Structure 1
Amino acid sequence: MKIAINGFGRIGRAILRQILTTARGNGIEVLLINDIAPLEMCAYLFQYDSTFGPFPHPVGQEDGRLTVLERSIPMSHQADLSQVDLTGVDVVLDCTGIARSSDVAQRGLAAGARKVLISGPSPAAEQTLVYGANEDQLGAARIVSNASCTTNGLAPLVKLLDEIGGIDSAHMTTIHCYTNSQPMVDAPRGDFARSRAGALSMVPTSSSATHLIDAVLPHLKGRISGAAVRVPTASVSAVDLVARLRTPMEEAHFIAALKTGTEASEVLGWTEMPLVSSDLRARSESLILAAPEIRQIGAQQMRVFGWYDNEWGFSARMLDVARLMAA
C-alpha cells in the first residue's frame, strides 16, 4: 500500500511512528509527507515527543527529505494539497483537521491519489467508518472519515452491548485529555468553557461522538446521548457508559459475555488490573475495558468503563481503514 500523509501533527506523526516501529506498518510505503511547517521543525517534533518519548532511532534531513530507519521520505510544504503530485498514491491520510468542506477534502484526489481518509469528522466525507463497528459499509466511497477518537472507542463497545442484550438507551461521558483545540491560558474560543486554560481545570463540553454514533450505527439512532469532560492530562482518555439493556441478565453472565465479545474483537481490549490512564499510553486498541469498573444496577442497567489512547489508538485505526480502502 502506498500512502501520503497530509498534515504532520499529533496524528500524522503517530501514524508514521507506527509504520516504522510496529507490524501495522508492514507493506506500507510512504511516498510523501506534506505539512506547512519547515522540514527542520517536522523532523525535530517527530524525533522528540513529549507524550511518547524520543524516537528510538536517528532522524535526519537531506535534500528536502525526512530520513529515518533507511527510509528517505520526500516532504512538501503546500497549504493546498492539490498543488502536490500524488500520482501512485493509494490513500492520502489527511491529518490536517481542516478537510471539512468538499473543495478541501477533494484536493488529494485532484492531486492524483486514488482515495482520501480524513482523520476526524467531516461533512465532506462520502462515508464515516469506525473499524470494528461498520467497516463493511465502505462500498465505493473515495472520501472517507475515520470519525473521532471517542467514536472509535464507543462504537465497537455499543455494537457489542447491543448484540449481548439489545440497547434500549445509553449515556456516554468521555473523560478526555486536553487537546490543541484548548488554550494553555485563558483565551477566547467559540465555547466559553473551552476558552479556559486546558491544563488547569476540568472542562465540561460536548462530544462529536454523540451524533457520529448515529451515522455509524443508524439502527441505534436516538438511543445514545453523550458529553465530555476535558481533564488536565496530556494523553489517554476514557469512556464511561451507562446503558439500559432490553434483555434482563445476571451480572456474572453479562460480564462473561462482555469479556468473550471483547476477546473476539480486533479493536477492543480487556484488563483485570486496577490501571490508571498513564498505564495505557501507546496502546493500539480502540478501547480497553476495565473489568474492575463494570457495574450492574438491577437486571438491565449496566455501567461499562474503558480506556483509550486517543492519539495512538486512533492512528492505528487510520492505518486499518486505509488498508481496507487501498484493497
Structure 2
Amino acid sequence: MKLAINGFGRIGRTILRQVLALPQGSDVEVVLINDIAPLDTCAYLFKYDSTFGPYAGDVVAESAALNIDGHSFPMTHSADLSSVNLQGVDVLLDCTGIARTSDVARQGLSAGARKVLISGPSPAAEITLVLGANDDALGDAQIVSNASCTTNGLAPLIKVIDTVAGVASAHMTTIHCYTNSQPMVDAPRGDLARSRAGALSMVPTTTSATHLIDEVLPHLAGRISGAAVRVPTASVSAVDLVVTLGREMQASEFDTALRSAVAASPVLGWTDDPLVSSDLRSRSESLVIAGPETRQIGAQQIRVFGWYDNEWGFSARMLDVARLMATR
C-alpha cells in the first residue's frame, strides 16, 4: 500500500512514526510528504517531539527529502496539492485540517491518488468512518473522513453497549487535553471560553463527536448528547459516558457481557489497573476502558470511563482505515 501524507503536523508526524515502527517487510510505504513548512523545520519537529519524546534514529533534511534512518522520503511544499504528482498513490492521508470543502478534499484525487482519507470531520467526505462502529459501510468511497479522535473512542463503545443491552439514551463528557485550536495565552477565539489560556484552566466547550455519532450510528440518532472539558495536559484524553440501558441488567451480568464484547472488538481495550492519563501515552487502542471506574446505578443506568491517546490512537486508526480503503 503506497501512502502520501499531506500535512506534517501532529497527526502526519505520528503516522510516519508508526509506519517506521512496522515490522520489516510491511506492505505500507510512504512515498511522499507534503507540507508548507520548510524542510528543516519538518525534520526538527519530527526528531524532537515534546509529547512522544525524541525519535531514536537519524533524521536528516536533504535537498528535497526527509532522510530517516537512511530511508529517503520525498517532500514537497505546495499549498495546492493538485499540482503535486501523486500517481501510484493508493491513499492520500490528508492531515492538514483544512479539507472541509469539496474542491480542497478532491485535490489529492486530481493529483493522481486513488483515494483520500481525511484526518478529522469533513462535510466534503462521502462517508464518515469509525473502525469498530460502521466500517462495514465503507463501500468504494473515494473521499472518507476518519471522524474525530473522540468519536473513534466513543462510537465503538456505544456500539458494544447497544449490542449488549441497548441504548435508550446517553450523555458523554470528553475530558480532553488542550490542542492547537486553543491559545497559550488569552486571545480572541469564536468560543469565548476557548479564548482563554489552554494550559492554565479547565475549559468547558463543545465536541464534534456530538453530531458525528449520529452519522456513524444513525439508528441511535438523537439519543446521545455530549460535551467537552479541555484540561491542562498535553496528551491523552478520556471519555466519561453515562448510559440508560434499553433493558434491565444486573451489574455482574452487564460487567461480564461488556468485558466479553470489548475483548472481541478490534479497537477497544480494557484495564483493571488504577491508571492515570500519562500511563496511556502511545497506546494504539481507540479507547481503553478503566474497569475500576465502571459503575451501575439501579438496573438500567451505567457509567463507563475510558482513556484514549487522542494522537497516537487516532493515527493508528488512520493507517487501519487506509488499509481498508486500499483494498476496495
TM-score range, shorter chain: over 0.9
Which AA in structure 2 matches 1:228?
A: A
Residues in 2 aligned to 1:6 and 1:122: alpha-carbon distance in whole angstroms? 15
Residues in 1 aligned to 2:245 and 2:315: alpha-carbon distance in whole angstroms? 31
Who is 1:120 aligned against? 120
SS at match of 2:319: helix
Who is 1:322 aligned against? 322
Residues in 2 aligned to 1:22 and 1:244: alpha-carbon distance in whole angstroms? 41
Is the contact between residue 19 and residue 25 of structure 1 (CA under 8 Å) also seen in structure 2?
Answer: no
Residues in 2 aligned to 1:287 and 1:24: alpha-carbon distance in whole angstroms? 27
Who is 2:289 aligned against? 289
| Structure 1 gap ranges (5+) | none
Is the contact between residue 129 and residue 144 of structure 1 (CA under 8 Å) also seen in structure 2?
Answer: yes
Residues in 2 aligned to 1:224 and 1:26: alpha-carbon distance in whole angstroms? 39
SS at match of 2:199: coil
1:110-169 alpha-carbon deviations (Å, 9 max, x no partner):
001000000000000001000010011111210000000000000000000000000000
1:63-85 alpha-carbon deviations (Å, 9 max, x no partner):
21111133110000001101100
Aligned counterparts, 1:135-214, within 5 A: 135-214=135-214
Who is 2:301 aligned against? 301
Is the contact between residue 186 and residue 196 of structure 1 (CA under 8 Å) also seen in structure 2?
Answer: yes
Q: CA deviation at 1:246?
A: 1.2
| Number of residue pairs the alignment of both structures matches | 327
Who is 1:235 aligned against? 235
Residues in 2 aligned to 1:84 and 1:146: alpha-carbon distance in whole angstroms? 23
Tell me the TM-score normalized by structure 1.
0.99
1:21-65 alpha-carbon deviations (Å, 9 max, x no partner):
135992111110000000000000000000000001111122211
Is the contact between residue 241 and residue 305 of structure 1 (CA under 8 Å) also seen in structure 2?
Answer: yes
Is the contact between residue 18 and residue 25 of structure 1 (CA under 8 Å) also seen in structure 2?
Answer: no
Who is 2:133 aligned against? 133
SS at match of 1:67: strand
1:176-216 alpha-carbon deviations (Å, 9 max, x no partner):
00000000000001100000000000000000000000000
SS at match of 1:228: strand
SS at match of 2:318: helix
Who is 1:36 aligned against? 36
Who is 1:16 aligned against? 16
Residues in 2 aligned to 1:28 and 1:46: alpha-carbon distance in whole angstroms? 19
SS at match of 2:112: coil
Residues in 2 aligned to 1:243 and 1:25: alpha-carbon distance in whole angstroms? 44
Q: Give runs of ≥4 in structure 1 deviating > 4 Å.
A: none
Aligned counterparts, 1:76-115, within 5 A: 76-115=76-115
Which AA in structure 2 matches 1:207?
A: T
Aligned counterparts, 1:57-68, within 5 A: 57-68=57-68
SS at match of 2:238: strand
Residues in 2 aligned to 1:145 and 1:130: alpha-carbon distance in whole angstroms? 9
Residues in 2 aligned to 1:297 and 1:22: alpha-carbon distance in whole angstroms? 43
Residues in 2 aligned to 1:122 and 1:131: alpha-carbon distance in whole angstroms? 17
Is the contact between residue 178 and residue 232 of structure 1 (CA under 8 Å) also seen in structure 2?
Answer: yes
Q: Per the alignment, do residues 258 and 25 of structure 1 end up closer, same or farther by CA in structure 2, a change over 3 Å counting?
A: farther
Residues in 2 aligned to 1:25 and 1:247: alpha-carbon distance in whole angstroms? 49
Percent of aligned pairs with the same amino acid: 74
Q: Per the alignment, do residues 24 and 132 of structure 1 end up closer, same or farther by CA in structure 2, a change over 3 Å counting?
A: farther
SS at match of 1:320: helix
1:239-258 alpha-carbon deviations (Å, 9 max, x no partner):
00000001111111111111
